[in-house]
Structure 1
Amino acid sequence: MAKKTSVGGQAVIEGVMMRGEKGIATAVRLENGEIEVDFNNSIPFTKKHSVLNIPIIRGFVAMIESLVIGMKTLNYSASCFEGEAEPSKFEKWLASVFKDKSNDVALGFALIVSLMFSVGLFFILPTFLSNLLYKLKADKFTVNIIEGILRVGIFILYIYFVGKMSDIRRVFEYHGAEHKTIFCYENEEELTAENAAKFVRFHPRCGTNFLFIVMIVSIVLFSLVEFNSLWEKIVYRVILLPIVAGVSYELIKWLGKSKSRLSDIIAYPGLKLQNLTTNEPDESQLEVAIIALKAAEGIDYSEDIKRFNRNPDRDETQLEEAVTRNCGNTVGELLNTANAILKENDIESYIIDSQLIMAKALDKTRIEVMTNREAEVSEEQAQTFWKMIKLRQKKMPVKYIIKQCEFMGINLYIDEGVLIPRPDTEVLVEEAVKIINNKQYNTVCDVCCGSGAIGIAIANEVKNTVIECYDISEDARKVAERNILDNNFQQRMKFYNSDMLNEAIKGNKKFDIIVCNPPYIPEEVIPTLMGDVKDYEPYIALCGGKDGLDFYKKISEQAVECMNSGGVIVYEIGDDQKMQVEYILKENGFSDIYCVKDLAGRDRVIVGHL
């Protein structure tokens, strides 16, 4: 089953831009054959501001944001090939008037001109031409149909003729590389040019599909109201464009998730249109797309870029092939070699990591691996083992590699889109269970739930609880819902995509107890964290804003609206945040506040009563 991701991208000049969980990465192949990467960890506006994440509104915001990002990445890729050209008179004038803001002004001007050109060509021109049919006594229905046909026809012809330009054909090849790489990643195959090349170059979440759906939605919405004046009709169409974009965005999101026959039918024309906007890429272009995707998702690409830079026409030697020839084929022999590789790469837990990875490769328990070192390993199992060791060699956390984690005796499915549950969080669960049992509570809310570990552990300890889990991340939805199902708690637990407690407030929900392990690391601290945390765990699940307290402030304020009288809130905190979180709770009407320490004697959990 394909791995659902929210990765998206765009082809640029001799490169690819990818937008992933960790940020926006643009990889460009320079004239000397090397790959240059530009990374920005900006968070989308729809995630920064909950009001902008409302359906329909978020579509228009996402479209504008995508246009801005697209312009910036195109400018960046173009700058890689400009050399030292003399600035034009216009550029000099901008610099003299707007100083260090001149680039932003130029970008804004280019964006406005692009929008005006697109609206004029694809919306105003078809309206103007179709309106001429009234002189031939055509009725309103016929005029609207002809206008729609003209709009789609102009759009297709524009793409067709632009695609004939040699530079654009090259961009379309990178567009194909972008799609193939995303498909490879979604299907959880190792990101190599060979693997990516096997996939088709047509993707249902493509911008081409979005633009085509915009054309169709506009035909429907523009036909709902008719005006006698041509200019009234044009103004109406321009004003309605944000709604057209918003509706189209919701449709494209649904197409990316749905596997129904209806979604296939709706996506079909847009997929066919990608025959014009994508071309088959070569190996070097796939390599650039792979680097961009890994950078955007926070996956280490340092070894890849060394290989791709050094010799683009290389015969790549896989790690697993080399070691398989030299280390034997028993469990013990493979473990000994893997231990040496991981130890050489400064991985302190190299012994237990190798054992866990071997257990995953063999579909055995760790105890079975440790007690059967003389057992032979098949070639296929050995290759699987070495692929995972290679990931651990690059410092990827072992729990992401084996896709599982134990938390309070429960086996959970874990993926890169969610935070790995830690033993410290068990202190929160234990305190929450104690409160639930003492007060006979049964309605529980796990907000910022991630993998669902806290809610599932509470459900496992207290049998009569009903638990709702909230998280803004689509990756969290996938992981939490799988864990709820795997542990057979679907009758008592439900997941909701929500920016903190927004959906609970909208639904007028009331809870006896709210538990939360929010993102609480100050943003300036994140770059100083260990590599396996900052490079792999989702930024959205780590960053608590400038002071690390953003989520405590917002959730404490929201909790008052969705808690029963006498309810309790239980937070996990950083070991230096006790006083600040206590103050936040008092400011929002909570009392009887106390702190619980972890096994190391650090402040770990704060409890407040409403």
Structure 2
Amino acid sequence: MKKIDVGGQAVIEGVMMRGTKGIATAVRTSEGKIEVDFLNQVPITKKYSILNIPFIRGFFVFLDSLILGIKSLNFSASFFEDTEPSKFEVWFEKKFGDKSNDILIYISLFISFMFAMVLFVLLPTFIASLFRGIAQSSVILNVIEAIIRIVVLLAYMIGVGQLEDIKRLYQYHGAEHKTIFCYECGDDLTVDNVRKFSRFHPRCGTNFIFLIMFISIAVFSFTSFGSVGERLIIRLVLLPVITGITYELIKWLGRNEGNLSRIVASPGLQLQKLTTKEPDDGQIEVAIRSLREAEGIRKSIGTVLKEATEIFKKVEIDTAVLDAQILLAKTLNKDKLYVITNKEELVSIEKEEEFLKYVKERELKKPISYITENVEFMGIDFYVKEGVLIPRGDTEILVEEVLDNIAEDSEIEVCDLCTGSGAIGLSLASFRKNIHVDCIDIEQIPEEVTKENIRRLNLQDRVNFIKSNLLEKPLEIQKKYNIIVSNPPYIKEDIIETLMDDVKNYEPHVALSGGEDGLFFYRKIVEESIKILDQRGILAFEIGYDQGDEVKEIMEAAGFKDVKIKKDLAGLDRVVVGGL
């Protein structure tokens, strides 16, 4: 096992880790984000070498840890404060200014210390004095006092462990231990790897507290059992000695794995069954983030790409390599070529966390275009999001067919019906600079997305969005179009559940379902388009591979002439187009 000096502490919804680069406190906020506070601070015993003398340094490390722990708790608590500052807090900050937080930390430390003294020193000392009539020996009375102290400690741990917030704190405590164990063993810090390790660690603070109890028996046995006040003073005076001895013992336990070290560590490890709980994956992620920040661990572009690709392959995503590259390029705000050619470049921990969020979404088969909110269509970048159908390459056949029917300098009126993201209509407007296009849809999200794409492509003067149930509104104002183009919902209702997870679980059902036979919208659009198309107007549809003849028959029955079926690059029926 690789021996290191990383240590940690659970805080409110998070973990603090102390490593070679500094101190990092990572907290999971109520919004689900991981926030990190990093302090470039070295231990007090390294800052002042005179304090690093064995059996003396332990007391100063103990005090330093208490102060650091309170600072970390304050940072974590700051994310869960819902109330306005009290009048006292406002006055205190005004009175002491920038020093107010440090002063409050030392006040908190003093109160915590006094509480611990009363509960674990004064109370056991007082109770033990009641046994004076039974046992006269100072050694026996000191042992009785130590036993009482242990009972009080156990009762306190069991009692507070019943609180829900403390249970979660104990889970983060377990996550801290498991993460440190994983790191000590030299394994990669992943959730799966960390989960395999024990939540019981010999260098834990729980061990430290429990060992103090036993060492105090040995030390106090050499003292007299006088009055309560005398004993309290003696225990305070000897506290640095006891903490110093305990600290050296804890360090020894961390370096050794022999039978003796196991025996010494065993009671403290058993006690950790009370103070640690098995963490969930999200809590492990927080602990990993904290340790990596504290140790300054960063991964290269090549490493994070490889890890993401392996995740995608496990869930049988055919485009695993490409998807990983696209998502990392989005994360780094670079192009795909950059991540391919700069694989040795290190990724910041913040960016890696952002990347992993995208990876998890893709692992659940969320379409890559919804994650990146971008799709290329006809060589143009379009904004998309959940709630609109993602434009496919096959639909470019429809656009190209319509473009063949529009002269370069033509000034005609075009309707993109069931527009979704507006990709068809906006592509037509981009390639024919004088046409006017109405993009029509009935849903709220297509309206939002299409308007954003109109803005991004700077086509506000020639493209308009109309919210309408098919051609209802244009018919009301007796609008006339030269061309109506549409990629309507055309999947048979009972077929939708057989589609790929990417489609059926994420893309809008309303943009997929064409009714029982898949032809509902073709019939309706054909019926309405006759009333709104100009003379010699053109109607063009995208269709399913097996719908060509049926859609052609619907159009011809309504009076359309020269109806043709166009095939895609795979040789399948893809477009039906006809004119009046």
Give TM-score, length-normalised by structure 2.
0.54
Kept after mapping to 2: 8 A contact 1:202/1:274 = yes
Correspondence for 2:346 among 394, 407, 412: 394
Q: Residues 268-279 of structure 1: matches in 2 within 5 Å?
A: 268-279=266-277
Aligned to 1:228: 226
Partner of 2:49: 50
- 1:99-498, aligned counterparts within 5 Å? 99-136=97-134, 138-300=136-298, 316-317=311-312, 344=339, 347=342, 392=344, 394=346
Query: Contact (CA 8 Å) 1:13, 1:78: kept in 2 or not?
Result: yes
**What is the rounded CA distance, in whole Å, between the counterparts of 2:281 and 2:291 in structure 1?**
15
Q: Secondary structure at the match of 2:279?
A: coil
Structure-2 separation of matches of 1:26 and 1:142: 44
Structure 1 residues not aligned, in runs of 5+: 308-314, 328-339, 351-391, 397-610
By how many angstroms is 1:320 displaced? 13
Counterpart CA distance in 2 for 1:323 and 1:255 is: 49
CA contact (8 A) 1:342 1:393 kept: no
Query: Aligned partners of 1:322 and 1:45: how far apart in 2?
Result: 51
Instruction: Write the deviation string for residues 189-228 of structure 1: whole angstroms up to 9, x where unpaired.
Output: 1111111101110001110001101111111111111143
Distance, in Å, in 1 between the alignment partners of 2:172 and 2:158 is 17
Q: Give the structure 1 partner of residue 368 of structure 2.
A: none
Cα offset for 1:233?
1.7
Deviations 1:304-356 (A, max 9, x none): 9x99xxxxxxx9437999899879xxxxxxxxxxxx99974665xx7xxxxxx
For residues 172 and 303 of structure 1, do their structure 2 counterparts lie closer, same or farther at Cα, with a shift above 3 Å needed? Answer: farther
Equivalents in 1 of 2:259, 2:285: separation in Å? 34
What is residue 542 of structure 2 aligned with on the other side?
none
Q: Could you say which residue in structure 2 is the equivalent of 1:76?
A: 75
Alignment partners' CA distance in 1, 2:313 and 2:5: 29
- Report the residue type matching 2:158 in the other structure: Y
Letter in 2 for 1:76: F
| Distance change (3 Å), C-alpha of 1:303 and 1:100 | farther
Larger radius of gyration: 2
Q: CA deviation at 1:177?
A: 0.5
Aligned to 2:22: 23
Change (3 A) 1:241 1:10: same
What are the superposed Cα offsets for residues 125-179 of structure 1, whole Å, 9 maximum, x if unpaired? 1111111111345432321221111011111111111111100000100110111
User: Structure 1: which amino acid aligns with 2:16?
Assistant: M
SS of the counterpart of 2:131? helix
The one-character-per-residue Cα deviations of 1:408-445 (angstroms, maximum 9, x if unpaired) are xxxxxxxxxxxxxxxxxxxxxxxxxxxxxxxxxxxxxx
1:45 Cα shift? 1.1
Give the conservation status (yes or no) of the 8 Å contact 1:10–1:17: yes
Q: What pairs up with 1:500-579 in 2 under 5 angstroms?
A: none
The residue identity in structure 1 corresponding to 2:7 is: G
- In 2, Cα distance between equivalents of 1:325 and 1:302: 18
Which residue does the alignment assign to 1:403?
none
* CA separation of 1:178 and 1:48: change in aligned 2, threshold 3 A: same
Residues 62, 243 of structure 2: 8 Å contact kept: yes
Alpha-carbon displacement from aligned partner over 1:495-529 (angstroms, at most 9, x marks no partner): xxxxxxxxxxxxxxxxxxxxxxxxxxxxxxxxxxx
1:15–1:174 CA contact under 8 A, matched in 2: yes
Matched letter for residue 190 of structure 1:
D
Given that 2:141 and 2:225 are in contact with CA atoms closer than 8 Å, whether structure 1 keeps it comes out as: no
In structure 2, the partner of 1:435 is none
Distance 1:346 1:71, change over 3 A: farther
2: CA distance, partners of 1:303 / 1:395: 6
**Contact 1:295–1:301 (CA under 8 A) maintained in structure 2:** no
Structure 2: which amino acid aligns with 1:394?
A: L
Deviation at 1:89, TM superposition (A): 2.9
Q: For residues 218 and 137 of structure 1, do their structure 2 counterparts lie closer, same or farther at Cα, with a shift above 3 Å needed?
A: closer
Q: CA deviation at 1:96?
A: 3.1
Q: Aligned partners of 1:165, 1:395: CA distance in 2, in Å?
A: 39
In the other structure, the counterpart of 1:64 is 63
Aligned residue in 1 for 2:476: none
Q: Which amino acid aligns with 2:33?
A: E
Judged with a 3 Å threshold, the aligned counterparts in structure 2 of structure 1 residues 60 and 18 are, in CA distance, closer, same or farther, namely same
Distance 1:393 1:219, change over 3 A: same
Partner AA of 2:8 in structure 1: G
| Cα 1:326/1:294, change in 2 over 3 Å | closer
Q: Share of identical aligned residues, percent?
A: 51
Is the alpha carbon distance of 1:291 and 1:221 closer, same or farther for their aligned partners in structure 2, counting shifts above 3 Å?
A: same
Match of 1:97 among 80, 87, 95: 95
What is the alpha-carbon distance in structure 1 between the residues aligned to residue 248 and residue 267 of structure 2?
17
Q: Which amino acid aligns with 1:89?
A: K
Equivalenced residues, count: 333
- Matched residue of 1:80: which SS? helix
The answer to whether the 8 A contact 2:179-2:284 is kept is yes
After superposition, the Cα gap between the structure-2 partners of 1:282 and 1:141, relative to the gap in structure 1 and judged at 3 Å, is same
Letter in 2 for 1:317: F
Contact 2:25 2:290 in 1 (8 A): yes
3-state DSSP of counterpart to 1:18: strand
**Alpha-carbon distance, 1:99 to partner:** 1.9
The answer as to whether partners of 2:26 and 2:287 remain within 8 angstroms in 1 is yes
Deviation of the 1:93 alpha carbon:
2.9
Contact 1:204/1:255, CA 8 A, preserved across alignment: yes
Matched, 1:33 2:28: no
CA distance in 2, matches of 1:318, 1:8: 36
Instruction: Give, in whole Å, the separation in 1 of the partners of 2:90 and 2:267.
Output: 45
Change in CA separation of 1:280 and 1:265 when aligned onto 2, cut-off 3 Å: same
The code of the aligned residue for 2:312 comes to T
For the residues of structure 1 that align with 2:162 and 2:286, how far apart are their CA atoms? 23
For structure 2, list consecutive stretches of 5 or more residues without a partner in the other structure. 323-334, 349-580
- Change over 3 Å in CA distance of 1:49–1:232 after alignment to 2: same
Q: Tell whether the 8 Å contact from 1:18 to 1:296 is kept in structure 2 after alignment.
A: yes
TM-score normalised by L of structure 1: 0.51
Q: SS of the residue aligned with 1:185?
A: helix
Matched position secondary structure for 1:9: strand
Letter in 1 for 2:24: A
Alpha-carbon offset, residue 5 of structure 1? 1.2
Report the Cα offset of residue 82 of structure 1: 1.1
Distance 2:181 2:337 in 1: 30
Tell me if structure 1 keeps the 8 A contact 2:300–2:345: no
Change (3 A) 1:89 1:135: farther
